[in-house]
């Protein structure tokens, strides 16, 4: 009796051929989507592809498992899908890994007096003002940037003057009002132009050392013009980063850590993402049962060590608050 041989691709049952083709197509499409994300500086649609590195890595693992399972079914090894999934897994894995490896910061509050900064896009249409005010009072961070505030939000935040006596509130009738609350004296400048939303630059004293805090809400990069203006905002913020003294930048940057302007901004200013080594919890979209994205950030200089970083609860906004504890190195 002749020895049985493993079935070839031609011998695969018709019921299995369609899944084989779909898996191959998924691997190639994922690879192309991954490569497109690295070309974000050339077109706004390509930049949007960069936002999903974490999800891409997970999908690449699933496709690789499907390819292995398919091999056990007797289909031949196919170079194109395996090469595609290898490229996708490598690029996305390298991008995501620093957020899950042990953090470089090993400082604790024992290294010095810990300060806390909180940034929260409260959303202009959010009616849960009392819940937000109670949350801010409970957290009692030293510094707070509040984004998308209008006159109603401004009035609500002034009820916190007993905790935050130093307030700079710039409400607006659009989604780019901004405010700064501080428990310590601060010199605050409002930086604005006719084409870009206002940002706040606050100079404070922390443990006898000067520190600059910049709060910003960039435009959502949907469409060519808004994409250009969002990138222009990154350039404006970079101009106000004090390279001789430490600066922390916080806010809704409408960019994930892999977006081209975010990467370029970090390279230009020397600031690093406070989330490195602490995972990638999504800050947007808080109210929808869909995968979220980390687009709210706190960027810190080398002189600052991150002690703690946490994403807050759903408080009626489409964003969740982001809070970072830090000490001097």
- Per residue in 292-313, pLDDT (tens digit) is 999 999 999 999 999 999 999 9
As a whole number of angstroms, the distance between CA 281 and CA 54 comes to 11
Residue 188: C-alpha distances to residues 30, 72, 180, 184, 202 (Å): 46, 65, 9, 12, 4
Displacement of CA 128 from its chain's centroid (Å)? 24
Position 71 scores a pLDDT of: 66
What is the pTM assigned to this prediction? 0.89
Residue ranges covered by each domain of the chain: 9-99, 109-328
Q: pLDDT for 55-90, tens place per residue?
A: 999 999 999 999 888 766 555 677 899 999 999 999
Could you say which residues of the chain have pLDDT below 50?
Answer: 1-11
As a whole number of angstroms, the distance between CA 16 and CA 32 comes to 25
As a whole number of angstroms, the distance between CA 242 and CA 211 comes to 9
Do the beta carbons of residue 143 and residue 180 sit within 8 Å? Answer: yes
| 174-178 LR contacts (CB < 8 Å, sep 24+) | 174/124, 175/123, 175/124, 175/148, 175/217, 176/147, 176/148, 176/217, 177/124, 177/147, 177/148, 177/149, 177/150, 177/153, 178/145, 178/146, 178/147, 178/149, 178/215, 178/216, 178/217
Position 193 scores a pLDDT of: 85
As a whole number of angstroms, the distance between CA 182 and CA 142 comes to 6
| 3-8 LR contacts (CB < 8 Å, sep 24+) | 6/74, 7/74, 7/75, 8/74, 8/76
Position 112 scores a pLDDT of: 62
Position 7 scores a pLDDT of: 44
Q: Give the number of other Cβ atoms within 10 Å of residue 196's Cβ.
A: 17
As a whole number of angstroms, the distance between CA 172 and CA 154 comes to 10
Do the beta carbons of residue 128 and residue 316 sit within 8 Å? Answer: yes
Homologous superfamily of domain range 109-328: Endonuclease/exonuclease/phosphatase (3.60.10.10)
Position 312 scores a pLDDT of: 96
């Amino acid at each position: 009796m002749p020895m049985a041989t493993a079935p070839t691709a031609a011998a695969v049952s018709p019921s299995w051929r369609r899944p084989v083709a779909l898996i191959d197509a998924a691997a190639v499409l994922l690879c192309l989507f991954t490569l497109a994300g690295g070309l974000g500086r050339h077109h706004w649609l390509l930049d949007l592809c960069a936002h999903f590195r974490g999800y891409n890595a997970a999908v690449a693992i699933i496709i690789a498992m499907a390819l292995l399972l398919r091999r056990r079914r007797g289909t031949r090894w196919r170079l194109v899908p395996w090469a595609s999934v290898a490229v996708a897994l490598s690029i996305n894995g390298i991008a995501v890994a620093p957020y899950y490896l042990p953090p470089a910061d090993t400082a604790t509050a024992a290294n010095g007096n810990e300060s806390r900064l909180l940034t929260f896009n409260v959303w202009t249409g959010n009616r849960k003002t009392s819940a937000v005010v109670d949350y801010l009072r409970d957290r009692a961070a030293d510094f707070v940037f509040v984004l998308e505030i209008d006159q109603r939000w401004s009035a609500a935040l002034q009820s916190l003057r007993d905790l935050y006596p130093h307030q700079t509130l710039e409400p607006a009738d659009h989604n780019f009002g901004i405010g700064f609350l501080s428990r310590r004296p601060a010199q605050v400048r409002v930086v604005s132009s006719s084409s870009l939303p206002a940002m706040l630059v606050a100079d404070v004293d922390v443990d006898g050392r000067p520190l600059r805090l910049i709060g910003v809400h960039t435009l959502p990069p949907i469409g060519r013009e808004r994409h250009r203006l969002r990138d222009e905002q990154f350039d404006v913020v970079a101009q106000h980063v004090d390279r001789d003294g430490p600066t922390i930048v916080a806010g809704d940057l409408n960019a994930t850590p892999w977006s081209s302007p975010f990467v370029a901004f970090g390279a230009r200013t020397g600031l690093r993402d406070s989330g490195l080594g602490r995972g990638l919890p999504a800050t947007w979209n808080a109210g929808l049962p869909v995968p979220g994205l980390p687009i709210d950030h706190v960027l810190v200089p080398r002189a600052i060590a991150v002690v703690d970083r946490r994403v807050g609860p759903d408080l009626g906004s489409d964003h969740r608050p982001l809070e970072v504890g830090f000490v001097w190195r």
